[in-house]
Each structure stands twice: as C-alpha cells, then as structure tokens.
Amino acid sequence: MENGAARTAPAVIVAIDGPSGTGKSSTSKAVAAQLGLSYLDTGAQYRAITWWMVNNGIDIADPSAIAAVAGKPEIVSGTDPAAPTITVDGTDVSGPIRTQEVTSKVSAVSAVPEVRTRITELQRSLAASAQNGIVVEGRDIGTTVLPDADLKIFLTASPEARAARRSGELKGADLHSTREALIKRDVADSNRKTSPLAKADDAVEVDTTDLTLKQVIECVVTLVEEKRTGQ
C-alpha cells in the first residue's frame, strides 16, 4: 500500500495553492504523510525545468527560445511525502533547484505557455496514478491543473510573516530584500497570461499569518476529513 499506510477511505485529491512562503510545501507534505496520501510539489517541477534551461545556456529573457526546448528535459517527481524526489534526465536536482539563480529565473520560465502545457501534463498524470489520493501544491492547481479536485485550499499570509519565515530558513537573510523578492515573484506569477497564481472560486482560504504550522496542518487535515465523511 502506498506510503505504507493501511487505508480504506476513497482516494481524495487535494489542491493547495497560494503565494510564496505561505506554508504550502510544509503543510502539504505533513497532511499527505498524516493521511497516507501522495504529495506533489509542482514548484519543484518548474524549478527543475528552469535549472535545465540555465544549465543548457538557454536565454531566459527569450520566451521563444524557452518554448522551443520545453519538451527536451525529462522531469521525474517522486511523490512519497516522507522523501519527495525530483530528477532531470536522471540527475537528482533537489539541491540545485533551490539556488538564488533558479529562484530569480523561475517566474520567467514558468510563464511560457509551452512549459506550462508540458508540466501540467506531468502533474495530471501523477495525480491520476496516485492510488490513495494526493496533495498537490502550487499556484494554479485548483484553477487549471485539477479543477475537479475534491478539496481546494488557498493559503495566504502577510508579506511580513512570509519574509520572516523565509529569512529564518535562509539563516537570517536580510528581511527587507527577502520581502521584496517574495513580492516580486508573486507579482510576476499573478500577472502572467497563462494560468496565473489565483484562488479558485470554490477554494477555502486560510490566512496563516497568526497560525503556527501545526495549527495550519490540523486545519487542513480537518477539512480533508470533513470532505471524506461528506460533512
């Protein structure tokens, strides 16, 4: 049985979207592990294709150059929440996709429609093959990738809270520049033409500004369980 959990509940598809640093990855991973579901970090997929573009000398400022090679890299995501993996052409890129260079270029690459089509196909295929269900987190999961998800959550938090979380993670990086970088990425992701960062009309919004991570996880687990029992 997937993730080692003995379950009898029907498969459930959970979409978790929101801006950077709202807690999507931490929450999704923990909820999936707790409920015996698969887990997919779609941001890691966009980061992986960006890493490949940078590594292959593709001009990130030229959408047509990106589009021309969008189908080339083979991106494989492992969906065990206890040990999620991401490879490009067989190489483990879980570390390199978190560099400042990739973070600063990912919004430009993910805005290219050919890239989105390619990555969306991968995401739908992984969701369809998750036997017990899956938690998929990103920016457009509830609106575009899985519009029929059983439960959609949209996480938010103030820019100040998000910057404080991120600078803690980056070992005390400057709070002001971290906040500016987060906002810049959100603006780019929210304003692209194809499948922008957006809350689905039927998503439940959870403001995590004043919640601990544990409280957010409990809140989402409760929402999933209510969905499963038809409450």
Ligand X SMILES: Nc1ccn([C@@H]2O[C@H](COP(=O)(O)O)[C@@H](O)[C@H]2O)c(=O)n1
> Binding pattern to ligand X, positions 145-184, x when CB under 6 A?
----------------------------------------
Binding residue (CB under 6 A) for ligand X from 43, 81, 84, 142: 43
Q: Is 118 in the site for ligand X (CB under 6 A)?
A: no
- The one of ligand X, ligand ATP, none whose footprint includes residue 216, by CB under 5 to 8 A per kind, is ligand ATP
> How many CB atoms lie under 10 A from the CB of residue 72?
13
Edge-to-edge strand list for the sheet holding 151-156 = 38-41, 133-138, 12-17, 151-156, 204-207
Q: Is 26 in the site for ligand ATP (CB under 6 A)?
A: yes
Using CB under 6 A, count the residues that bind ligand ATP: 16
Is 20 an interacting residue with respect to ligand ATP (CB under 6 A)?
yes
The verdict on 185 binding ligand X (CB under 6 A) reads yes
108: nearest Cα among 74, 71, 62, 177: 62
Question: Strand runs (DSSP E) across the chain, as ranges?
Answer: 12-17, 38-41, 75-78, 85-88, 91-92, 133-138, 151-156, 204-207
Distance, CA of 89 to CA of 82 (rounded, Å): 23
Task: List the x/- string, 143-182, binding to ligand ATP by CB under 6 A.
Answer: ----------------------x---x-------------
Q: Is 20 in the site for ligand X (CB under 6 A)?
A: yes
Q: Dihedral angle at the C-alpha atoms of 15, 124, 92, 195, nearest 10 degrees? A: -70
The CB-of-62 to ligand ATP minimum distance in angstroms stands at 25
Coil, strand or helix at 13: strand
38 contact, one of ligand ATP, ligand X, none, CB 5-8 Å limit per kind: none
Is there binding between residue 106 and ligand X (CB under 6 A)?
yes
189 backbone dihedrals φ, ψ, rounded to 5°: -70, -30
Place of tokens 């990912």: 106
Distance from C-alpha of 102 to C-alpha of 89, rounded to nearest angstrom: 17
| 90 among annotated binding-site residues | no
Residue 62: contacted member of ligand X, ligand ATP, none (CB under 5 to 8 Å, by partner type): none
* Binding-site string for ligand ATP from residue 42 to residue 81, where x marks contact by CB under 6 A and - marks none: -x--------------------------------------
113 annotated to bind ligand? no
What Å distances lie between residue 176 and 62, 167, 191, CA to CA? 30, 9, 23
